[in-house]
Amino acid sequence: MQNLYIQLFSIHGLVRGTNVEMGRNADTGGQVKYVLELARALGEREEVRKVDLFTRLIREKTFSTAYSRPIEKLSNKTRIIRIQCGGGKYIRKELLWPHLDEYIDRVLKFIKDENDIPDIIHGHYADAGYVGKELATLLGAPLVFTGHSLGRIKKQRLLEDGLKEEEIEKQYHIEQRIHAEEEILGMADKIIASTHQEVEEQYAFYESSPSTDFQVIPPGIDLSRFFPFFDETFTDIEAVEERDNIKQAQFYMQKELERFLSNPEKPFILALSRPDRNKNITGLISAYGMDKELQAISNLAVFAGIRKDITNKDENERQVLTELLLLMDKYDLYGKLAIPKRHDFEYEVPELYRMAARSQGVFVNPSFNENFGLTLIEAAASGLPIVATDDGGPQDIIHNCQNGILVDVTNHEAIASALKKILINAELWKEYSQNGVQYARSHYSWQTHCRQYLDQAQNLPLQIQAEEQPPDRGTVGKRLTKLKKLFITDIDDTLIGNDEALNELLRLIEDNRDRIGFGVATGRDIDSVIEVIEAYNLSHPDIIISSVGTEIYYGPKLLPDKGWRTHISARWDRSGIKTILDGLKFLSPQEERAQRKYKLSYYIENPEENLAHIHYLLTRNRLRYNIIYSGGRFLDILPYKASKGKAVRYLHYKWNVPLSNILVSGDSGNDEEMLRGELLGVVVGNYSPELDQLRGQRHIYFAKKTHAAGILEGFKQYAFDSEN
């Protein structure tokens, strides 16, 4: 296995290659770090040709311009690709859902521009998992997924916290997330989890879980940053500047601790986490506050994120931080408890672990639940023994590293006595410290992770020799990203009606299939399109635009274009329109199958007089709509953003085919919009009178012959099947 192109997706939060703003907001934390390090490490493997980490482009004053750069190079083979969706403003992850289909469209465009199809698509978290799933379906690439955390577990926890179902939904849009996760699990070729507990107790809550292929591969840590405390020579570090940064970090952190502590030379207990209720910082402070002996032998340093003014924090964080201050006062921990307001992650955090280790201290993670526990491994690698919650990730870590004690974190005495056990026993301290340094390196390096990752990749349905594959393998998206031209035609009275000419046209399409895509655009609903395809033996179209442009499908598997659906749904009040029109005498509803979610269809009498009245009624009621009148009697009401013409333009944008490379043919009013403009329009000889007004327009050719013979004439006129 060689030459892999891997696309990683991690959409939310603030992602950049240097000075990651960890903890700046709730979406910029462990996952961001994980994907950046994974991207870099994969890019170092020789089996890998290219790694792109896709995230969201953010262009907003209060954020660094780094987040608005479309491409950031991380190394020779690795890049961050930023794609905009839902505008330029920062959007928290729970509110990204309505914009993800736009994201997908723009990624497709990017892929087409680069002319490079990924071999593996790897989504991180439900949002990017959704994007990955859609792209993998379109491109026929295997899908890998890493949840990082899961909606069902989160919901359950919030319910336990006493939140009501409606509140949870309103704030977190959790049902959409859970639904997406189910679908992702149902389709992913591989799920990469960090711990066994994640698989057994978290993914297990999902219905699609039993049929899913899980692989536990713990993440690595950046060992060049988390080197052991005794390594005074900084073995891995050559640059002088780097050493200076580390020394400076040490100086600042020391000063910071001295601000709080009366006896800063004592061993200190270090805790490091966001001020989230689940992290149970207050439990730790109570444990320390209630134990005089523990206070006598050690200090406690709690780094709970970055804060300027607690009153400006969101409610959850504000509560935790306030409680923390109250506990400090209650147990009178002045001079013993340090609660610094800031720290950076680049140099100060790694240095903090080493400082704690040099003081013969302990790292503690008192979280109620810990999915993974990255900080525990960082502490281990630095040579700092740990005390951690008896849950999930920590269980695996202590099993692998033999460097500390698991405790029931709801029990204050248990926390205190585990800490004391290590602090008092120098032999035990040393054993834990050495084990951590050694085993963190063998179990939790990104090199180890990538080796296992690429081993797993071998079992994926990779399609590296894509060129040699037949087009119809569910990889219609891949095909579309390669096509230079599109031919899109109406069906009734345009494509069909003259069998002999139709067969000639179909042969022409077949002969040019590697360059020219074939699509139909029709008023028929999708089922009746399928009937025509079968009845006339049409080679399966790449694209079907059905129900007068309100639905788009791809390939023989009829993959729906969800981006289009989302796009046209804007301000569509179907029942509002129906109520007004159903009462009109000159309209009679078409049969049931003609009525679609985004299409209301009638037969109209005396259109010349009555169309204006319909406009009047709908406009007066402030309804948004698009009216399509055709064939002398058909009337379709569509969302204002929908029509066959708009659908064709959307395809031009999405698949990045220039308008002047799209040939469109039609015969009646519902074809009018798609014939206009820069596209190459062909009106067949047997057209309906409503198209007469197009005569004389640029780029519209009125053929003399009828039906498919007229289309063939148009092909000739534009030399459409020529090689350029």
351 vs 672, beta carbon nearer Mg ion = 672
| Number of Cβ within a 10 Å radius of residue 719 | 9
Q: Which listed option, ligand GLC, Mg ion, none, makes contact with residue 634 (CB within 5 to 8 Å by class)? A: ligand GLC
Candidates 124-132, 403-411, 487-495, 588-596: pick the segment binding Mg ion (CB under 5 A). 487-495
327 vs 642, beta carbon nearer ligand GLC = 642
Residue 132: enclosing H or E segment and its boundaries? helix 125-139
Residue 6 bridge partners (DSSP): 51, 120
Q: Does 670 bind ligand GLC (CB under 6 A)?
A: yes
Residue 513: enclosing H or E segment and its boundaries? none
Q: Which listed option, Mg ion, ligand GLC, none, makes contact with residue 359 (CB within 5 to 8 Å by class)? A: none
178 vs 638, beta carbon nearer ligand GLC = 638
Sign of CA dihedral 108, 114, 120, 123: negative
Q: Which listed option, Mg ion, ligand GLC, none, makes contact with residue 630 (CB within 5 to 8 Å by class)? A: ligand GLC
CA distance 161 to 157: 6
CB 492 to Mg ion: min, Å: 4
Candidates 100-108, 262-270, 384-392, 489-497: pick the segment binding Mg ion (CB under 5 A). 489-497
692 DSSP 8-state letter:
G
Q: Are 123 and 148 in contact (CB under 8 A)?
A: no
Helix, strand, coil shares of the chain, percent, nearest 5, are: 45, 15, 35
306 vs 627, beta carbon nearer Mg ion = 627
Q: CB-based contacts of 341: which residues, under 8 Å, 6+ apart?
A: 306, 307, 308
CB 666 to ligand GLC: min, Å: 11
Binding mask 645-674 for Mg ion (x = CB under 5 A): ----------------------xx------
Q: Does 490 bind Mg ion (CB under 5 A)?
A: yes
CB 490 to ligand GLC: min, Å: 9
CB 634 to Mg ion: min, Å: 10
354 vs 596, beta carbon nearer ligand GLC = 596
CB 629 to Mg ion: min, Å: 13
Q: Does 496 bind ligand GLC (CB under 6 A)?
A: no
CA distance 441 to 382: 10
Q: Does 590 bind ligand GLC (CB under 6 A)?
A: yes
Q: Does 493 bind Mg ion (CB under 5 A)?
A: yes
Among 594, 600, 648, 674, binds ligand GLC (CB under 6 A): 594
Binding mask 530-569 for ligand GLC (x = CB under 6 A): ------------------x---------------------
Q: CB-based contacts of 529: which residues, under 8 Å, 6+ apart?
A: 491, 520, 522, 544, 546
Q: Are 377 and 397 in contact (CB under 8 A)?
A: yes
Please state whether beta strands 543-546 and 516-521 pair in parallel, antiparallel, or not at all (unpaired). parallel
Provide the residue type at 332 as one letter: D
Q: Which listed option, ligand GLC, Mg ion, none, makes contact with residue 548 (CB within 5 to 8 Å by class)? A: ligand GLC
Q: Does 282 bind ligand GLC (CB under 6 A)?
A: no
93 vs 596, beta carbon nearer ligand GLC = 596
Tokens at 296, concatenated? 């006598």
Among candidate residues 209, 367, 342, 363, the one with its CA nearest the CA of residue 276: 367
225 vs 707, beta carbon nearer ligand GLC = 707
Q: Is 615 helix (H, G, I), strand (E, B) or coil?
A: helix
Q: Which listed option, ligand GLC, Mg ion, none, makes contact with residue 493 (CB within 5 to 8 Å by class)? A: Mg ion
CA distance 276 to 253: 23
Which 606-635 residues touch ligand GLC, going by CB under 6 A?
628, 630-631, 634
CB 647 to Mg ion: min, Å: 15
Largest Cα span, the chain: 100
Among candidate residues 362, 389, 365, 367, the one with its CA nearest the CA of residue 375: 365
Tokens at 451, concatenated? 């080796």
Among 382, 494, 601, 706, binds ligand GLC (CB under 6 A): 601
Binding mask 632-651 for ligand GLC (x = CB under 6 A): --x-x---------------
Exposure on the CB side of residue 693, measured as CA atoms within 13 A: 7
Binding mask 506-525 for ligand GLC (x = CB under 6 A): -----------------xx-
CB 668 to Mg ion: min, Å: 5
Q: Which listed option, Mg ion, ligand GLC, none, makes contact with residue 490 (CB within 5 to 8 Å by class)? A: Mg ion
Among candidate residues 243, 235, 252, the one with its CA nearest the CA of residue 349: 252
CB 488 to ligand GLC: min, Å: 16
Residue 701 bridge partners (DSSP): 682
Q: Where are the beta strands (DSSP E) in 408-555?
A: 485-489, 516-521, 543-546, 551-554
Tokens at 515, concatenated? 């360059």
Place of tokens 């002319």: 115
214 vs 536, beta carbon nearer ligand GLC = 536
Tell me the site size for Mg ion, rule CB under 5 A. 5
197 vs 590, beta carbon nearer ligand GLC = 590
164 DSSP 8-state letter:
-
Q: CB-based contacts of 425: which residues, under 8 Å, 6+ apart?
A: none
CB 609 to ligand GLC: min, Å: 19
Q: Does 667 bind ligand GLC (CB under 6 A)?
A: no
Q: Which listed option, Mg ion, ligand GLC, none, makes contact with residue 523 (CB within 5 to 8 Å by class)? A: ligand GLC
Q: Which listed option, Mg ion, ligand GLC, none, makes contact with residue 524 (CB within 5 to 8 Å by class)? A: ligand GLC
Using CB positions, name the residue nearest to ligand GLC.
523
Q: Are 388 and 364 in contact (CB under 8 A)?
A: yes
Tokens at 496, concatenated? 């069909």
CB 599 to ligand GLC: min, Å: 7
CB 566 to ligand GLC: min, Å: 23
Q: Which listed option, Mg ion, ligand GLC, none, makes contact with residue 181 (CB within 5 to 8 Å by class)? A: none
Q: CB-based contacts of 271: which residues, under 8 Å, 6+ apart?
A: 281, 284, 300, 301, 302, 303, 304, 363, 364, 365, 366
542 by Cβ neighbours in 10 Å (0-12 / 13-18 / 19+) ranks as buried
CA distance 370 to 198: 10
395 vs 670, beta carbon nearer ligand GLC = 670
Tokens at 150, concatenated? 């899961």
CB 535 to ligand GLC: min, Å: 16
Which 628-647 residues touch Mg ion, going by CB under 5 A?
none
Q: CB-based contacts of 149: which residues, under 8 Å, 6+ apart?
A: 125, 371
CB 600 to ligand GLC: min, Å: 9
Please state whether beta strands 404-407 and 386-389 pair in parallel, antiparallel, or not at all (unpaired). parallel
Q: Where are the beta strands (DSSP E) in 61-142?
A: 71-73, 78-83, 120-124
Interacting residue ranges for ligand GLC, rule: CB under 6 A: 523-524, 548, 590, 594, 601, 628, 630-631, 634, 636, 670
Interacting residue ranges for Mg ion, rule: CB under 5 A: 490, 492-493, 667-668
